[in-house]
Amino acid sequence: MRYETVIGLEVHVELATESKIFCSCSAKFGGEQNDHVCPACCGMPGMLPIVNKHVVDLGMTAGMMLNCDINRTTTFDKKSYYYPDLPCSYQTTQLFSPVAVNGLVDIETSQGKRQIRIKQIHMEEDAGKLVHDDWSDTSLVDFNRTSVPLIEIVSQPDLHSAEEVIAYLERLRSLLRFARVSDCRMEQGSMRCDVNLSVRPEGSNVLGVRTEMKNMNSLSAIERAIEYETARHIDAIENGTEELVQETRRWDDLKGKSFSMRTKENAGDYRYFPDPNIMPVVIDDEWFDRIKATLPELPEVKKARYMTELGLGEYDAQQLCDSRALCDCFEQAYAVCGNAKEAANYLISDCMNMLNKAGLTADQLSINGESLGKLIKLVTEGTVSRPNAKKILAALFEQDIDPETYAKDNGFIVSNDTDLLKTVVKAVVASDPKTVADYKAGKEKVLMALFGRCMKELKGNCDPQTLREVLIEEVMNS
C-alpha cells in the first residue's frame, strides 16, 4: 500500500524590534542573565502591559507578505500554563482574533509549484530560559527572553514531504527577511519550527494519528526528523510495531530518533481567555495603508527586473536578491553611477569578501549605496585606479566617507601629469639595463616587472594603458 504524509507547521519567528512586546526592556539577543528585565516582564504584581506598536506593524507586514487577510480589530488572550520560564503563569498570545488569517505561500520543489495555505499568524511573547544547575540541584531562571516579541505562523496541513517543508521554510525566511520582519536565524533561535505529522493510506481523506515535534531549529534536523517519523508511522500501521498515540515527541538529532515526552496539557487545559489588561488594537485605514506602502518588491520580481531592465546575468541577480540589504545598496549605487554591472560586481565580490572576513552576513551590510555609486563613478571615469578603489572601498566599509574627498586626501587621484610619468619611467628603465636587454631580446613577459615598479613609484595613480605605451617607447629607445 502507498502512504501519504500529512504535515502542518507552526513556525515561531522573533521580530526585529528594539524593545519587548509589552515593556521597554531591550529585545536584543544575548546580554548578561536578567539584564533585560523589569517588573512587567518579570510578572510582578500590579504591572500592566502596553503593546509595542512596531510589533503590530511587523505582524501586519508578515500577514501581507504571506497574502493574508488582516483582522482590523486584533485582541490578546491569556494562555495558562504553570512553568518557571513564564513568570505570569500565562503566556499572552492571540487566539480569538489574531492579526492575520487565511494566507497563501507559493513554494517550488522538484515536483513543481504549489500553494500552501496559512491558517493564521498571531503575535505573542517568548518565554524565558531555564538552566539546570547540577551543583546546587536547582533550576536557574533567566528572564531576558521573556516577552521578546514573536509571531507564530500556522500553516494548514498542506505539506506532504520533507522537501516541501524545506521549500516552505526557505520561502518564509526569504519573504520575512526581505520585509525586515525578522533576521530568521535558525541557529540563534530567531526562527523555530514545530512539526505536526501524520500518515494515511494514499487517497484516504481521514487523518491518521498526529504527533508533534517541537522547537526544531535546523533545516537538516527537520528533514531527518520528518523522514524518521514517516517511517515510524508506516511501520506502526503496517506491522503493528507499536500503537500510535497523539503526543509530543522530542527529536534527538545525534541519535537520529524521536522520543516520547511526558504528555502535556491539551488545548482545553490552557484555559484561554481574553486579556482584560490589553485593550483591543484597532487598525484603521491610515495604519493599514502605511504598512502596505512599505512592503518590498518580492525577491523574484526584483531578480527578473535586474535581468531584463538592467542587463545583469542570472547569477549576479540571484546573488543580490538573496539579501534585502544588498538589493537596497545596489539600487542606490546604480542610481548614482548608472552602471549596474560594476555596482553588482563590487557588491558580490569585494563587499561580500569584506563581510565574510568580518564574520557578518549580507543583511548586515552597512555601506552607503550612494557613496558606493560615487566611488564607481570615479573608477569608470578614470579618476581613481582600480587597486586604489579597493582601498577606498575598505575605508567606506568602516565608515561612511565621501570617496572623492578621501581619494584626494590620500593621494589616490590619477595624475594627468605626463611629465611626471615620463620622469618616473625614464628612471626605472635606466636603473635596470638587464631587464631592458631581456625585453629587447624577445622576452616580452619581463615588461611586467618594469611596469609594476613604475606603478609603485606612481602610487597607482596613472592610467595603465598610457603607462604601458610610454614604457614600451622608453625601453625601445634606450
Q: Judged by CB under 8 A, does residue 51 bind other proteins? A: yes
User: Within positions 202 to 241, which residues make up the interface with other proteins, using CB under 8 A?
Assistant: none
Name, in order, each residue with C-beta under 8 angstroms of 147's C-beta and a sequence gap of 6 or more: 20, 21, 22, 23, 25, 40, 41, 125, 126
- CB nearer to other proteins: give 86 or 337: 86
User: Which position among 7, 9, 16, 25 is part of the footprint of Zn ion (CB under 5 A)?
Assistant: 25
Beta bridge partners of 80: 90
Interface with other proteins (CB under 8 A), residue from 201, 256, 280, 382: 280
150 binding other proteins? (CB under 8 A): no
Site string for other proteins, 89-128 (x = CB under 8 A): -------xx-------------------------------
End-to-end Cα distance, the chain: 89
Nearer to Zn ion, 98 or 128 (CB): 128
Rule CB under 8 A: choose which of 131, 295, 358, 437 binds other proteins.
131
| Chain residues 11-30 in contact with other proteins, contact rule CB under 8 A | 17-19, 24-27
- Closer residue to Zn ion (CB): 25 or 281: 25
User: Could you say which of Zn ion, other proteins, none residue 366 binds, taking C-beta under 5 to 8 angstroms by partner kind?
Assistant: none
Q: Is residue 23 near Zn ion by the rule CB under 5 A?
A: yes
In the complex, minimum distance from the CB of residue 30 to Zn ion, in angstroms, rounded to a whole number: 16
Q: Give the closest residue to 124 by CA, choosing from 62, 174, 183.
A: 62
Q: Which one of the spans 6-14, 132-140, 378-386, 403-411 is the region binding other proteins (CB under 8 A)? A: 132-140
> Any idea what the Cα angle at residue 467 is, between residues 462 and 473, rounded to 5°?
160
Q: What's CA 344's distance to the chain center, in Å?
A: 19
Each as own residue / partner, the long-range contacts of residues 359-365 (CB below 8 Å, 24 or more positions apart, any chain) are 361/323, 362/322, 362/323, 362/325, 362/326, 363/177, 363/183, 363/323, 363/324, 363/325, 364/325, 365/323, 365/325, 365/326, 365/329
Which one of Zn ion, other proteins, none is in contact with 280 (Cβ closer than 5 to 8 A by kind)? Answer: other proteins
- Spatial contact of 20 and 147, defined as CB atoms under 8 Å apart: yes
Place of cell 502596553: 50
295 touches, from Zn ion, other proteins, none (C-beta below 5 to 8 Å by class): none
The smaller minimum CB distance to other proteins, of residues 23 and 471, is found at 23
| Element spanning 85, H or E | none
Going by the DSSP 8-state scheme, the letter that residue 19 receives in this structure is B
Q: What pairs with residue 107 in β-bridges?
A: 114
Task: Put the strands of the sheet holding 149-155 in their side by side order.
Answer: 69-70, 100-109, 112-125, 149-155, 3-14, 191-201, 211-216, 247-252, 257-260
Determine which residue in the list 55, 329, 375, 384 makes contact with other proteins, applying CB under 8 A.
55
With both helix axes pointing from N to C terminus, report the angle between 369-380 and 386-398 in degrees, rounded to the nearest 10. Answer: 170
Stretch that binds other proteins, among 138-146, 191-199, 302-310, 379-387 (CB under 8 A): 138-146
What are the C-alpha distances in Å from 247 to residues 32, 54, 95, 260? 36, 36, 22, 7
The answer to whether residue 33 forms part of the interface with other proteins (CB under 8 A) is yes
User: Which three-class secondary structure state does DSSP give residue 211?
Assistant: strand
273 contacts other proteins (rule: CB under 8 A): no
Q: Does residue 41 belong to the site contacting Zn ion (CB under 5 A)?
A: yes
**Shortest distance (Å) from residue 42 CB to Zn ion:** 7
Residues that bind other proteins (CB under 8 A): 17-19, 24-27, 32-39, 42, 44, 50-56, 73, 75, 80, 82-84, 96-97, 130-133, 136-143, 261-262, 265, 269, 271, 274, 276, 278-282
Residues that bind Zn ion (CB under 5 A): 23, 25, 38, 40-41
